[in-house]
Structure formats: structure tokens, C-alpha cells
Structure 1
Amino acid sequence: MRLNSIFSAALVISILTSCTAWKGQWKAKSRGPSSEIISTDVLNYSQTIIDKVATREFNSLNCSAELDQYKLFYDSLLKKLSTEDMKSQGLDILEKNFQARLAIHSSLEVLPTECKSKIKSLYLSMRLAEDFVGVHLYSDAQISADKIKYKEQPVPIYEADKYHPYYVGVGIDSKEKFQFKNGDIMITKGISFVSSTISELASPKSVYSHIVFVHVHEKTGIVSTIESYVGQGVSLFTIDDALKNENARIVVLRPKDSLLAAKAANYMYEKVQKLKEGKKVIPYDYNLDFNDNSRLSCEEVAYDSFKVMSEGKMIIPEIESEILLDDAKFLKRIGVKKGAMMVPTDMETDSRFSLVLDWTDYRVIRDSWRKDALLGEMFRWIQDYDYRIYENATSVAAKIIWSTRYIPGLWTMMSKISGIPADFTKDVPSITISTMASLKTIGSILLEEVTRADNESFKTKGRWLTKNELSEALDRFRQSNPKNLRKVFREKK
């Protein structure tokens, strides 16, 4: 669909009336006295964005300045929106905010590159505002992801009544069980230090860490996912397993070219299935070399599929993020280089995909935020203060233990001791194992501190810390020169 049809008022109105929360259409609630002014401002502001898209007041000529204003507004919400407003008007705010994001998404196809890049940053601000409202609205007990037995949980999206409402886009019936289509892409947010490394490292930062490629069998209708993981390579999973993974967030994007999408998904599914029958796998790509499809990372699974089946005509994403960190040694440790790089969030602003579903698990949002904040601060300290990761007993032991992986009997025992999965593929570089161990050591120290500060804020003020406040708490901890942290993470000597 091109310019005229995308921006027709009729289509935009259709989008706005079709996108719903799982529990029904958005309904404005009666407003109270002056305490409701801020929440009303939020609703009105989101509606203004929707109206500007519908009337083309938001367009390719003014989008840059408009997006700057939108971002400033949403950045201010976390400090200005009262706890009472979030509790009383939270549902309305979440729904209207989603509609505003959906409206902006409908304009992607005609916007210049500069504006698409700014939309990534705006989406982050809007997401953080939604998360902040959601955790105060629902008042879920904030728990660590490692306390949840995910495989025993209800299936997100499918068992909708077991979770808070999710949101769907145009043409999706919110009252019916969601139906995946062949070639759908899910972008998700895991809840681990590695996941936060992915979401915090690139610029702009994001709330995603993984890409899942969906396959729907043409004859049986069985839904599977094609995913690549460190230490595992490319594998096939049931849709239930994929949805019940450790996800704080799941977004489903649907390719507008459904025929190409189906071909791409079939191509990769059949390739992986054939290798599986021969007890082989496509290894994980630790070098993130998009020109070599003999090894694939999670992003490369979808990238390679669309590239091959379109004969190079559809390269995803339209716009890559950037790695700005200067420390080449650290970047080498985590397998990336400074410069442009595809990360999961890039798919959210690819105009060739429609936003069809948006789900959040508010129970673990604080855990996710804390880990994001501490990884973000770690990268800032590396960049601004020349911090370095120093080997410690855990990281050294991890490398030594990993060196036994080719000795079957010994490796089985050492795997149990170390916690490294026994079925990890043997091609995982030792530096990856060491870095993961170091991140866990440093992350655990910082997580304890930021969790304490966050819980203290909620206990004394009834309000969780904002993302900036989490970062400030971490930096105060750094400035106190804690001995346990400085043993493993400090300035370069």
C-alpha cells in the first residue's frame, strides 16, 4: 500500500477503531477534579498525535520537529504523572498510547530516514512511559524472572485471561484467539544480563533483545518458531515453548508481502528440519557476519530468509542501529564492532511490516528495567571513565571448566558444577563463556544495589524509580568505591 492509501483518513480511522485491548474497546472514564489534569493531558496528547497522522499534519516535511516534541513530552511523564493518575486512568493511558504508536507506525512508509530513526527513540520513551504506568496500575508483585517456572506458566497471548490485556492492530479480532501467519516476526525482551546487553548496547537503546521467526505449516496449521541461541545454534520450537520463554515483552510484526513471507519461513524451516533429521544444526554466528549464512544469529535467521527468497530485493531492516562504544577490546569480547548493526528493535520501524500484537508481562518489568539500567551504566562507565572488566575467580574458572568440554565424562561433571548447560555446542568461544561469567558477577553486585534502591523508593513513596533514577542510584554506588565491584570492574590502570 503506497502514499495515498496509507494516509487516507478512512484508513487511519479504521486503524484507530480496530486496535483494541484484549478486554474490549477503549472507553473514556469520567474525570475527577484537579488531580486528574495530568492524566487528561496525556490522553489528549496521544489523541493529538493520532489526529495529526489522520489529517496529515504529521508528514514527511515536519516529522523531525514533531517527533522531537513528542519525545520531550513522553520523557517528562515518568516524573510528572502522579501515582493516583496512573492507578485511576492507567488503562485509558495504555490504550491511547498504543493507538498513538500504531498511528505513527502507519506513516512509516512515507517518512524520511531521519524521522524513522527518531521514531525508534520516541518509541523507547513511549514504552518506558507505558511500563511505568502499567506497574503502578496493576500493582503486580514485582518478582525476579529466575523465580518464575516459565514452562509451568499459562501460555502468553493464547491463554489471554490469565494475564493483563494485550493490544492488537487493525484487522485483528481481539475477542478471538490470536492466529499467527506464516512469516510473522516476533521481537521479544528477555530478562537476563545478556538480554540487557543487547537492548542497551546499540544506539538508540531499546526494549527488545531477540528475534523469533514464525512458521505455520501449510497443511497441518502447526505453528513453530525458528530461533538461534548462543550455545545452541538454529533450532525449531513449538509456539507454546517460544511464548513461554522468559519474556517481559512480545511484539508480533506481520510482513505486508505475505507471499514472500511464507516463502522465507518455508525456506528456513525446511533447511533447519532437514539438518535436524541428519542430526546437524546451523551454528550460532559469534562473529555476526551477515554475509556468511553458514552460521546464523537470531537476527540473521529472518535476515537471511528474506534475502535469499527475495533474491536480494528485500534486505531487513530498513535502518540499522549503531554501536557507538569506543572500547574495541570490550566489543570484541561480546562479538560486535563499532558501527552500524542490526538489532531486534530495528524491525519495529521497518515500514514493510505491520504491528499486529503487543503483550507485556508487568510482573517482571522492574527486574527487566533494573538489569537494563545496570548494563546501560556499565557501558557508560566504560565509555566515559575508561572502566574495564577484570578477570575474577568465576570467569577464570568458567574458562577452565569450558576447556573440558571435549572430555565426555569430565565435562558432564564439570557442567553440573558450573551451571553451563551440558548440551552447549562446543563451538562457543572461550571468551564468550568468560564474558558471560563476568557479566553475571558484575551484574549481580549492581543488581543487588539497584533493587535495594528501587524497593526502598516503593516502600517509602509508594512509587518505583524511573529509568533515570535507577541509573543515578547506580552511579552513586560507583562513586562510593565499593570494594566488591572494584575487584572486577574499575578504571583502567
Structure 2
Amino acid sequence: MLAPVASASFEKDIEHIEILAATPVTSADLLARNLQFIYERAAKARFDDYEVAEIAKHAQSLMYRLFDLRVGLRNHLQHYEMLGLMTPDVTQGFRDVFRVLRYVSDMLGEITTGHPRVGEGGYLLRGFTGADNNTLVNYPFYRSGTAQHFRSGDVILVRGTAHNSAAIARIGDVDSQFSHIGIVYIDPAGDHWMVESLIEDGAVINPLAKALDHNIVRAVLYRNRDADLAARAAKCIFDYVAASRAKGGKRILYDFSMRTDDTRNLFCSKLVRLAYEQGSFGMFKLPTYPTKIARKNRDFLDRVGVATDLTFAPADIDMESGFDLVAEWQDYRETAGIRLQDFTMDKLFEWMERFNYRFDETAAIKLVSVLGRFASHFSEGAKDVLSSVFPRVPINMPRKTVAVVAMLHKTAEPIYHELMKLNQDAVADTGVPLHGLDVMAALERIREREGNRIGYLVRRGR
């Protein structure tokens, strides 16, 4: 997966990029070129250039080599920052390499797991569980080889199963594989909690086990190197959110603006930012490398309610040198699905920009969004009963946002099912998942076939 077509050895190709990743550099241009080389080798080459049976036989060691490669690159971030090498091109290079190597590792897991998809009768695993190399562990942190030991202040980055999760992961100029983030708090009794901000509920405190059971496919555990700071951050935000949920407290709603300068409402990343800001007495502010939101076609963003060009996206934590990557988990039965969601969102947003596609709100969508807004005022029990009929939305979500989320889902869903069929056929024929380049080509064929209307997206002008 990491070499030219003529390559005969997957392991040798990994070795080549390991050497390149470990090569000392003294200029930002050279570092950016090295990262681009690694990315291109991983993105353009194909599993079927190799002996798939041999790859499957050594999958665990290969997955750990890819994981250790990413950990090693992250460990160099602080050094490169000290040298002043973290230019925008270098920062983008790191993000691209982290993303593509995750995809390669996912595909290794998919080839070797051999279990049915969740939709075929299985069930989603709890985060950081599973016996099929689901959890990759940074062993300096867990000499025992397990990833069950959390600390107050740990940050958990996750990806859910919904198309909306893919949209959140792709909402900025940086493509990512994550849609949500939360912070762990361990109380004096030893109980583990996740403090987080959810679209439906705003800022909440959930048992950690419940949060890790919540329809996630990917989760990464990060740990701040300053244990005292981390503990203070977790305690501060736990107390802050607990007070808002107590009788007489004022609920903290989800913030759709994505702005980081106003803490009345909180989106998930801003909650983590606030935690560490409070825990450091205002001295530590996330993120170091914020996500830019500067898409030319802002129609979708305006409908969602985004009101900034710079934000703290969940995946920005991946670039924080003050946090160590402790463990990474994925459910390989579902990683192909979220990968196809990622590529679908890439293309939908690209089509909005390049071809001026806009969401066209029909009468049916307007009715759904109005009823969804009305349902937001119901009791929680009523919302749950009506969830199969009306969108379950927070009280502060505008009607236009309900509408565009519904249109996004209904546009992406049939495309996703078509791609899943193609991927299943590829696995049946070749034993390996559909390559990203083939997915992108299939998406372009869908656009050409559908013409000026793709689901609820309508092309405006020429």
C-alpha cells in the first residue's frame, strides 16, 4: 500500500517511509517534501500490488509499525516547533500523513478481521475493547498492553456512525476523521465520567462507559504531559457543567457558531478548550493550529449557523505537542463505512464549490424541519418516542439548520449505499477493500449520471 506498482514487499516499503520519517531535517521545505512523499506513497498505491495473504498473516505487526510511525512523527512536533519549522505547508503535511496512515491501518484490519458488518447482525463494540487488534497502544504508557487505565484530564477524540459526523469532520479546510471530543474526569470515589457537549443535549456529564458505547467507530486517547494541569482542567469543567445541570442552574446549550471567544454556549472542542483554560488560570489555550473555515460556497455553513472563519475542530488535538497519543481504537467492521462517508462528504463539498450546487429545500423538508423544531420543545421522553418520525433537535437549533441537516442525510445516504455495494463487490472479488482512488472515480460517475440534481443538491447556473 505504500510503494510503486512494481513493489514486491509491503514491509520494505514501510521501512522506506520509516527511514524518511526519522531523517533529521533543518528546513521547513524539506520537512514538507518528506511528508508529501509519505502521503503520496500511501494514498496512490494499492493493496493488490502486494501478496495479500502474506500481508494478512503479518497484519498485527504491520499495523503497529504504522501506528508507531505516527506516534514517532507526533513526538517530533515539539522539536520542529522549537526549530520554527511548523509552517502551514508542514502542518498540512502532518495532518495528511496522519489521516492516510489511519486509512491504511484500517484496511489492514478490515482484511484480517473477517467479521460481518454491524448492519448485518453484529453490534458496535465499546470503545477500547475488542480482540482483533482493535486497540493500538503506545506501550511506554501501558506496559501491560491494555488501554483500560484512564486519568483525569485525558481527552478522547471520537468518530460516530452518522453522515452528520462525516460532515462535521469535513466542515473546515482540513479533512479529518473525527467528529467529537470530550474530557475524562475521575471523581474521588474512582468513578469515571465523560464531560462533553452534544448537539442534542448541550454540555453534559455521562458515565465514561456510556460515552464509549455511543455509536462510535473510532476513538483516540490523548494525555496532557502535565498531570496536575490535566487534573485541574477535568475538575474545573466537571464542576462547571454539573452546576449548569443542577436545579436552578442554567443549561449550557450547544454552540453552532463554532466561535471560540464566547463561552455562554459550548460545542465539543470549545468545552475542552475551556477546561484547560480554567485549569491553567487562563495560561493554556487550545488549539495551537486552528482549523480554517474558508470555503467559497458558504451556503451550507450559513444554514448550519457557522459564524467564524477560524475554529477549534476536534481533530486539531492531533497536532498538539503537549498531548501524547496514548491509545487508538477502531471497530474494523465499520471503518470501511466511515471511510466511504468521508469520501462522500469530500465530494459533496467539492461539488458545492466547483459546480455551485446548493441545497434545495422542498415542501416536505420544510414540514420535517418545522415539526422537528416543534418537537424540540417536547419532554425528553416524548422526543425519544418521536425520534423515528421527527428530527431530535436541541431547542436552540434554527429551523434552517434542521432542514439542511435532513437534506444532507437524505442526499448522502443513497450515495453511501451505492458505494458500500461497490466495496462489498471489491472485497468479494479481490479480498481487499475498494481503493480511495476508485471510490473518488465512482463518486464522479454518480455526479455525471445525476446531472444537475443530486439528492437535494441542485446546480445553480453553469
Instruction: Give the alignment's TM-score, normalised by structure 2.
Output: 0.88
Amino acid at match of 2:277: K
Equivalent position to 1:136, from 111, 121, 138: 111
- Of 436, 449, 459, the match for 1:491: 459
- Name 2:3's counterpart in structure 1: none
Residue of 271, 274, 278 corresponding to 1:301: 271
CA-to-aligned-CA distance 1:141-194 (integer Å, 9 cap, x gap): 23449x6655xx5x332x454763432242322445621111110111111111
Counterpart secondary structure, 1:418: coil
1:331 aligns with 2:301: yes
Task: State the aligned residue count.
Answer: 445
1:28-39 mapped onto 2 (5 Å cutoff):
37-39=8-10
Aligned match of 1:420: 391
Matches of 2:324 and 2:165 in 1, distance apart?
24
Distance in 2 (alpha carbons) for counterparts of 1:85 and 1:323: 43
1:303-452 matched pairs, under 5 angstroms = 303-336=273-306, 339-405=309-375, 412=382, 415=386, 418-421=389-392, 424-452=393-421
Asked if 2 retains the 8 angstrom alpha-carbon contact of 1:323 and 1:337, the reply is: no
Segments of structure 2 that go 5 or more residues without pairing to the other structure are 1-5
Report the equivalent of 1:277.
Answer: 246
Q: Distance in 2 between matches of 1:467 and 1:174?
A: 36
For 1:48, give the aligned amino acid.
Answer: I
Using the aligned pairs only, state the percent identity.
18
Is the alpha carbon distance of 1:264 and 1:444 closer, same or farther for their aligned partners in structure 2, counting shifts above 3 Å? same
The letter of the residue matching 1:400 is V
Matching residue's letter, 1:44: E
> 1:243 aligns to what?
212
TM-score normalised by length of structure 1:
0.83
Partner of 1:187: 157
Counterparts of residues 199-278 of structure 1 (less than 5 Å): 199-217=169-187, 219-278=188-247
1:480 counterpart SS class: helix
- Note the C-alpha offset of 1:456: 2.4
Q: Residues 446 and 406 of structure 1: is their aligned pair in 2 closer, same or farther, counting only changes over 3 Å?
A: closer
Assess if the C-alpha contact under 8 Å between 1:321 and 1:343 holds in 2.
yes
Report the counterpart of residue 292 of structure 1 in structure 2. 262
What SS does structure 2 have at the residue aligned with 1:113? coil
> Structure 1 residues 386, 176: closer, same or farther in 2, change over 3 A?
closer
Alpha-carbon contact 1:58-1:66 (below 8 Å) kept: no
- Which residue does the alignment assign to 1:70? 38
Residue among 58, 62, 65 paired with 1:93: 62
Query: Structure 1 stretch 65-74 or stretch 180-189: which is displaced more?
Result: 65-74
> Secondary structure of the equivalent of 1:120?
helix
> Distance between the aligned counterparts of 1:108 and 1:464, measured in 2?
32
1:120 maps to: 95
Query: Any conservation in 1 of the 2:372–2:390 contact (CA below 8 Å)?
Result: no
Distance 1:148 1:433, change over 3 A: farther
Shift of 1:260: 1.4
Q: Where do 5+ consecutive residues of structure 1 fail to align?
A: 1-34
Whole-Å separation in 1 of the counterparts to 2:86 and 2:133: 37
* 1:251-278 deviation digits (Å, cap 9, x = unpaired): 1110112111111111110111122222
